[in-house]
Amino acid sequence: MDSAERPLRIPPEMVIYAEKHDIFHLIQTLVRNLMVDKPDDPIQYLINFLERDNVDVPRIILLGPPVSGKRTVAKKLCEHTQAIHITFSDILKDDSDLTRAAQSYYDKKQGWVLEAIPKTQDEALCLQEAGITPDHVVMLEAPDVVLIERSSGKRIDPVTGDVYHVTFMWPESEEVAQRLETPRTLMPVQVMSQKLQKYHTEAHALKRTYHNCLKIINADQPHVDVFSQVLNFICTPRHSPSPYTPRILLFGPPGAGKSLQAKLIAQKYGIINICCGELLKAVSADESHMGELIKPYLESEQQVPSSIVLRVLTERLSRMDCTARGWVLHGFPRDVEEAELLHKSNFTPNRVFFLEITDDIAIERLALRAVDPVTGEWYHSVYKPPPGPEVQARLRFNPQHSEAQLLMRLKEYWSQTVRLQAFYPQAVYINADQDPHTVFESLESRLVGQLPKVLSNQQTNEN
């Protein structure tokens, strides 16, 4: 083959490195800060920015109506994340200009939690113009009648500034309870109603401003539950526009539906469907040196050596279409040794699925299946019987799908499965004894969304 005709290939380690270190997000952050700050010396600015090591610190805005629990949640968030708690009074102590004062906190290595800042859309836009952009915005909500009731029972610890309530949140410590004071700014119901009305007017605009990173949480529940939901939200990475290239492995016993599910995934998401067996047949059909090596094994129905399979696979997986669009692979690896070879070749999957069915179901699905040699249509004695005796008479059963052959293949599969499951601890287990489209929905629910930076060692079961 002429060199000009060879498929373009990209080393797989480039993609893996970029995903591992979140290079796209890093470059995006650097460029965004350059365009906002417009430094005279961009190179030195970037060096200083990277040395501050504050790219991934928490940047949180906590909004909500009066007495919705913002102060309590903000303090707990700061305790948990080690971020700096910033209130409006903190900013006004340093500078009467909101944007300039907030900017002084923006580059803190610990990150920050802005409580009740901004109060209006104009303030939000000023912060954005100054490059002060949150990763997460939490807006607490509760019915006005609940908030008015809370307001009348509000108490403050003069020592710590912590907020309590005579009904909803009384301190456990008797010492703290004895020193609680009624706020000097306790509002009459009419004043409180006016403040709530003003807040609601601005809240709609703030929701629009921060819609891409906003979470609304019901504050009319125990404060422990409110904080738990807030913490869960801020611990969830924001959706990233970073290119996501799916690299999917499908495992499962014979008859689990790997080929069908791979086909459905490839059709919907435009990724490359690679069946190892079909790939080997395609290579053996050409007149290449590799094809001549493979052909004797296929003709004698022997297993192709792992080293040869890997050479064929790595050549295919490193082509531009697989690198750019992603791939779904099934039929390889067959054991841990092959999984290690694949890993050493830098073709590391970021999604691994085990399709699970019992041996009885596998035998029922395959042993009763036959093909019409005239039309190529597949039939099944139970699920899709042939339309008439003429078609029934000409059906051909696959010798490899005899019960004896299937039992041998199943035994071989299960003998390797436990070790493969240990090798891929992040794998997801799907009950494949369901309608194929239900199985696909289960797979699809785990395909979409940004990948976690650290894959969990705990296996996830989805049945």
Answer for the pair 219, 226: CB distance below 8 angstroms, yes or no. yes
312: number of Cβ within 10 Å: 21
Distance between CA atoms of 195 and 362, rounded to whole angstroms? 66
Distance between CA atoms of 46 and 52, rounded to whole angstroms? 10
- Bridge partners (DSSP) listed for residue 61: 114, 137
Reduce the DSSP state of residue 285 to 3 states and report it: helix
Q: What share of the chain is helix, strand, coil (3-state, %, to 5)?
A: 50, 15, 35
Specify the pLDDT at position 399: 84
Specify the pLDDT at position 458: 35
Q: Spell out a b/e string for 218-232, using b for 16 or more CB atoms within 10 Å of the CB, else e.
A: ebbeebeebbebbbe
Contact residues for 333 (Cβ-Cβ < 8 A; gap 6+): 249, 339, 341, 342, 420
Q: The tokens 């306790």 sit on which residue?
A: 186
Q: Alpha-carbon torsion 304, 310, 311, 313, what sign?
A: positive
Tell me the mean pLDDT per 10 residues along the chain, length 463. Answer: 54 73 78 80 85 74 93 91 83 56 58 91 86 88 89 81 77 86 76 90 93 92 89 73 79 94 93 94 89 90 91 91 90 95 90 95 89 86 86 86 89 94 94 92 77 37 43
Which pair of tokens denotes residue 193?
């109603």
Specify the pLDDT at position 214: 93
| Residue 445 to residues 312, 440, 441, Cα–Cα distance (Å) | 31, 9, 6
